[in-house]
Each structure stands twice: as C-alpha cells, then as structure tokens.
Structure 1
Amino acid sequence: MQSETITNRTSTDNTSRCLLKPFDCDFGDLYSFQDQEQLYQKSNLKPLKCSFAIPSIFDKVRNRYGRNHTCEIIIFTCITNCYDPLPQVHGDILSSFCLVALLDTKTITAYKKIYSINSNFRWDLVDLGADATPFSVAAKSTETLKIVGQRMFPLAKWIIWLDGKGQINRISELLKEVRAPVIGVPHPDAERTSESEVNPTIDRIYVREKSLSQRLNNSIMDIKLQEKEYQRDGFYSRSNALKLKMYDIVIFLYRNNHPCIFRYLCGWHNEVNYFSYRGQLSVYYSAVRMNLTDYLHFLP
C-alpha cells in the first residue's frame, strides 16, 4: 500500500492539492508508514506526528484538560452555528465523568440562555471563538475532533464522542461490558460498506452545498481522489473480504492511551485531513492497513 507522505502519494493524481489547503494538510502532518513503524520500535526518538503539529484553536481544550486527573471518562462534542442541541446523556453521571462541549461564540451565547435554568446542567462549555474552525471547511473540525481526543484529554481512561444528534445510556454499565478498545454504533443500513458509502456521501453533499459552488466541487474532487486511491491500494477488496460493516460514527468510544488505538486514530486522522473531511469514508482504512480491525467492535 502507498506510503502516506505527500511526495510518495502520487496516485492522488494531484500532487499540488495541498497548496490550496495548506492548514488542512499541515494539521494532518503526513508521515511515511516506515517512519511510523520506527516510532513504535524505539521510544523517545521524536513525538508521533499526529495532530496539533502546528498551533490551533484546539490547544485551548488541551490547556484546560491536559493535567486533569479527575476526568476519567470524557464525553465531548463540537457544535457550531447552533446546528444541534447538546447530546443527551442518560443514567448515572459519576463524579469521574466530564461532559465537554466545544462551541463557537454564537452557539455558546445561545446555550447559556437555554440551559441557564437547568440546575442539573453538567456540560463544560468551551468557547473556541467566533470562527471555531481553522480548516477550509467548518465541518472538518467535527470530523477531526472525534479522532484526536487523546491529544486534548491525555489523562482520561475512556473518551466518548457524541454528535449533537446522539444520545447514550448507562455509560458505567456499558464500559464494564465492552471487550475492545474501540466501540461504535452499527450503521442503520446493515448492507452499507466502505465501498458503497461513497455515492450516498456524494448525494448528501449535493443536498447540503450550493450547486456549482467551489466548495461543492472541491468536496466531490476530494472524495473521488480518495476513492481512486483506495481502489488502487486494495482497501475496498480487503475490507469487503473481512466483511467490515459500517459504523454510524455519531457515537464513538475509545480507550485512551492504548498503543494500537493511538496508531489507528493517527492514521484515520491523516485520512480525514488529507482527503475528504468526511470520516465515514475512511473509518476502517488505517485499521485495515495496520491489521488492527480486531480491535474495533460494536456496542454490546
């Protein structure tokens, strides 16, 4: 399979694409697969090149929680432009649970009014500023953040991502039942695969974006380049042979500081930032490359 450096990844057919989106590619901080293997053979050589390689607004979260020992279970989300309500968390919320919402200024102002009368409100609202994304596409922040929780909350034991549309029940009991370090919700369409996900994703983009807009064209171009790369790499044929059914990544749980999962998330992070920001298209890619698919399970 292809190495992950910009110079080696020639099968994208557009070697200068990062000139158009420099922050997106820098934030992905692409590195070769050989370099990645070397990092795990010898410790303390240099930090793993995965996320926060350059300063960004997300450092505000890491600065607040980087030394927090009490938040063993992090439940977090990112909402901008008042797009969604806060996710619903049901059941016992223990003192070791921390609920963190990353919001833009517009959303945090609205939420403070909406939730001010709720005496049981547990969310820590983090203001990322008026423009809560450093990326060329705002939604890319959401897709990126669900993958880089280990960078923002390094001392947590479990990290749980919830989209605004998501809800989760019985967290304590749930974590006692899991048998894998990565857990997600199965896609409602049981027949959906990584390969078949491409066309429905493009259809959703046509609905949400303005027709004939540059952002629409760029998004579709990225997805097509990604699809072509994955076909050449043999990813689709391999994932189909493994019968890997899709997640609905509205909810995503992972054990923090698990070495294999750290590798998996770093690889997935690079895919989201180098190609299309839509994580659904690449959720299995780095797991297949690194032979880590046995570590990915569905919620019990």
Structure 2
Amino acid sequence: MRQRRQDNIGISNLKSDELVHNSFVEMMFFICLAIFGLKMHFHGGISSLDHVEEELMVHNVSQHVSQQQRKKPHRQRYIPCEVPFIDSVNYLREPMDNNKFAHFYLGYAEREERISQNDTFEAHFGGHQTLEERDKSYHARSQTIHCGFVSGPDGFPGTGFELDEKDKKYMSTCSVAVSSCIFGSSDFLRRPTSKVISEYSKKNVCFVMFVDEQTLVKLSAEGNVPDDKGNIGLWKIVLVRNLPYEDMRKTGKVPKFLSHRLFPSSRYSIWLDSKLRLNADPMLIIEYFLWRTVSEYAISNHYSRHCVWEEVLQNKRLNKYNHTAIDEQFSFYQSDGLIKFDPSDPKILLPSFVPEGSFIIRAHTPMSNLFSCLWFNEVDRFTSRDQLSFAYTYLKLKRLNPDKQFYLHMFKDCERRAVTKLFHHRMDN
C-alpha cells in the first residue's frame, strides 16, 4: 500500500512539472507572437511605438486648438474718445430762447373714465390710448396727449408711481435735474464722481435717484443709509411706492422718458441708467451736447448695431423679451413705414437707427417733451425694449411734421463712454 501511494505521488509530481513546462512554453510563444506582430504591423520595429505616441499627441493638440476655435471670441473693447469741454462752469452762458425750436402747448391726460361697463376694465398708468388718439398725438401742435400718470375713475386703485408730497415739492423746484433709478434691487448705487462736479452744480443741480422699498432696504443693508436730508452722497433718494408695472424694466422707463413730468419746472435734464456712473459736470455736459450743437435732445448711437432689423434679431437671440411680443411690435412698425437703415443713403436722417439709450440729455422744449411722451407710449403699448421703438417714433414724428424741426443730436458712443463709467448690473454679477 505504501509503495502504491508513493508511486501515485511521483506520477502527480511529474504531471505538475509537465503542466508548468507547457504553460511556460505557451507564455513564451504568445510573447514572441506579440513582438513579431508589432513588427509586422508597424513595419519599423518596436521603435515605431514612439511614432504612434507622437501621432496621439498631435491629435490631442489638434482637438484642443479646435475647441479653442469654437469658443466665443472676446468682446471687442470700446474705448472713450476726447470730449472738449470748456474749462470751467464759470464761463457758461446759457443761450437765449431759441426761435428755431417749435413752440406749442402740450397738456396731459390725467384721468380716464370707464370705457365700457364690463367687469374687465382696469385702470392703467399709461391710460387706454386708442390707435386714433395715438396717431393724432404724433402731430406737433397744441393738444392734450397721453403721457403716463393717468388715474382711473373714482373708486379704482391708483395706477402707480406714487411719491411723497415732500419729494414732489422738492422736485418742483429743480431747474436742472440729473436722475436715475434702481427698482427691484437690480443694481448697486453708483455715486457721481464728486471731485469733477463743480460747486455750482452741487448747489444748483438736483441729483435724484428713484428707488422702491426693496432697493432701499438692500442699500441700507450694504451701508448706504440716507442722511437726515434723504441724501446718499450727491443723490437725493426718492422712494417710489406702488410700482406701475410688474416688469421692472418698463417701470424704469417712467423716470427715463418722463423727466419733464417729474420735474415740471426743469429746463434741462440728464438721464443715466443705474449701470453708469457720472464722471463729468452736468452743466458742462449740457453745454457741450445741447448748447454747442443747438439741439434740444441728445442721445448716443449704439456701439455696434445701427439697423432695427439687427436689434430685433439680437433681442431674440439673447432672449431679452418674449419673441412673440417682439414680432408683433416689429410687424406693426414695418406696416407703418419703418425702413431699414442704409448708411449710403444721402438723405438718411440719423447716423444710426439704434441708440444707446442709457444716457440722454434733454432740453424741456415742446418738441423734446412730445418725443419723450411718444416714445414712452410705444414702450407702454409694446415691449420695454426701447431700442426697438426709437427709430419708428423719431421717423414718424419727422414724417408727420415736415414744417416743424426736431433738433435731435445723435452723438458718438465713445463720447458717452468719456463722461460716464459703465458697470455690470447687479443681476449680471
């Protein structure tokens, strides 16, 4: 029995040795086959692996370059240009009443009665202007027109943009006004650069910042608390209650376009969006853009777009507003005579049909006030994108009043950049 067991063990060991030997032979065979196969495949021996690695590196670099090319290019930088202001406000001489400017009386609709007895009637800040009333309002003549601040019938709630009586009294004393607004806490407070503002302007120009309650709370939390006179720096903070529109951008058009209504005694006004900081004396600005050019309204051209067709596409591309609403407005304007901007046309009325509306300088003349009301009414009726309605409003006003000139000065955008500093909106940060 012992001998048989030893024989079995010997046989088992022999088989194990054979298995190990066979496995070793098979492994060497596959290694040789792999090396031989590589040589056959690359026709250059093992050194050809370096070539493969180089090709992979080139491929990766090409992919990286391709991805870089697909990235959006950097925005073009727009730089300011020189604005030759006079040396001091001490040399200012306000021109006498210019007989070139059209003279007529404008009254404003203040109250509307119920149009019908149905239950759907709602009082509206801009009123319920009919298309017939709208067309008539474009004629530069003595008349009463819609221009915001329209109240409803007795028993209806207020239509909005309500101000404290003390603030209204203060604003009624302003002969020159610089104004801006922040609604919905959409921006930081940009104070005018005090060191470039003359003592004359600090004493004689009203700097008014319109805010809602949400913004006032936010500013206070950030340390911008009005002093005993209601000022933060040069800005007089004026609180607006009961905003007239849910769209904050549309609410912002009230102080932007209707400064002649908010400052009823003012002869001049400057508007700047809250994304801008004023970097020049307001009286020097008025002298340069209005008095020196004998103009009653001044606004800069857009920095890159000049045709409303382009502006429509850009607004839709960036989803600035509901596309259907933009299309309805644009179709209406085309049906009423809006034309494409053609820089080669020697009879073109403006250097651009698209403005950069963040900075406006105005004399409160009848024609300037009429244009401002008309432009506001377009924003009230259609979209808040005022760059879409500027050219239509201006061209229609000119077309219907061939015997009355409107002296609008469209200046270069680089000049706007020279007198203001641009920041991003708070929501963009």
Pick the aligned partner of 2:303 from 171, 183, 188.
188
Aligned residue in 2 for 1:7: none
Structure 1 position 148 matched with structure 2 position 258: yes
Residues 296 and 117 (structure 1), Cα distance of their counterparts in 2 relative to 1, 3 Å cut: closer
- Aligned-partner residue type, residue 238 of structure 2: V
- Aligned-partner residue type, residue 108 of structure 1: L
Superposed CA deviations along residues 163-204 of structure 1, whole A, max 9, x for unmatched, are: 111122232212112221111233221x43222111111223
Aligned residue in 2 for 1:284: 391
Structure 1 position 52 matched with structure 2 position 149: yes
> Does the CA-based 8 Å contact 1:24-1:273 persist in structure 2?
no
User: Secondary structure, in 3 states, of the residue corresponding to 1:159?
Assistant: strand
Pick the aligned partner of 2:369 from 262, 270, 273.
262
Instruction: Say which is worse superposed, 101-110 or 82-91, in terms of deviation.
Output: 82-91
Aligned residue in 2 for 1:200: 314
User: Distance between the aligned counterparts of 2:171 and 2:160, measured in 1?
Assistant: 19
Residue 110 of structure 1: how far off its partner (Å): 2.5
Aligned residue in 1 for 2:168: 65
Pick the aligned partner of 1:172 from 258, 262, 283.
283
Residue 273 of structure 1: how far off its partner (Å): 0.7
What is the number of equivalent residue pairs in this alignment? 262
RMSD of Structure 2 on Structure 1 (CA): 3.1
Aligned residue in 2 for 1:297: 410
Alignment of 1:214-229 (within 5 A): 219-229=322-332
Aligned residue in 1 for 2:212: 104
User: Distance between the aligned counterparts of 1:128 and 1:68, measured in 2?
Assistant: 13
> Does the CA-based 8 Å contact 1:82-1:110 persist in structure 2?
yes
Instruction: Say which is worse superposed, 81-90 or 94-103, in terms of deviation.
Output: 81-90
User: Distance between the aligned counterparts of 1:247 and 1:177, measured in 2?
Assistant: 19
> Does the CA-based 8 Å contact 2:301-2:351 persist in structure 1?
no
Structure 1 position 247 matched with structure 2 position 355: yes
Residues 107 and 95 (structure 1), Cα distance of their counterparts in 2 relative to 1, 3 Å cut: same
Unaligned runs of 5+ in 2: 1-118, 152-157, 399-404, 416-429
> Does the CA-based 8 Å contact 1:87-1:163 persist in structure 2?
no
User: Distance between the aligned counterparts of 1:63 and 1:285, measured in 2?
Assistant: 38
> Does the CA-based 8 Å contact 1:188-1:248 persist in structure 2?
yes
**Radius of gyration: which is bigger?**
2
Pick the aligned partner of 1:236 from 339, 346, 366.
339
Residues 225 and 239 (structure 1), Cα distance of their counterparts in 2 relative to 1, 3 Å cut: farther
> Does the CA-based 8 Å contact 1:59-1:152 persist in structure 2?
no
- Structure scoring higher RCO (CA < 8 A, sep ≥ 6) equals 1
> Does the CA-based 8 Å contact 2:138-2:397 persist in structure 1?
no
User: Distance between the aligned counterparts of 1:120 and 1:101, measured in 2?
Assistant: 9
Superposed CA deviations along residues 244-296 of structure 1, whole A, max 9, x for unmatched, are: 4122111112112x011111111111110111111111122221111166424
Residues 228 and 69 (structure 1), Cα distance of their counterparts in 2 relative to 1, 3 Å cut: closer
> Does the CA-based 8 Å contact 2:167-2:238 persist in structure 1?
no
Give the TM-score, by structure 2 length: 0.54
Aligned residue in 2 for 1:212: none
User: Distance between the aligned counterparts of 1:106 and 1:120, measured in 2?
Assistant: 17
- Aligned-partner residue type, residue 205 of structure 1: N
Residue 59 of structure 1: how far off its partner (Å): 4.1
Superposed CA deviations along residues 46-73 of structure 1, whole A, max 9, x for unmatched, are: x332211224332427873367564222
Structure 1 position 134 matched with structure 2 position 241: no
Superposed CA deviations along residues 187-242 of structure 1, whole A, max 9, x for unmatched, are: 221x4322211111122326xxxxxxxxx6xx322211111011112212378752
User: Distance between the aligned counterparts of 2:226 and 2:125, measured in 1?
Assistant: 43
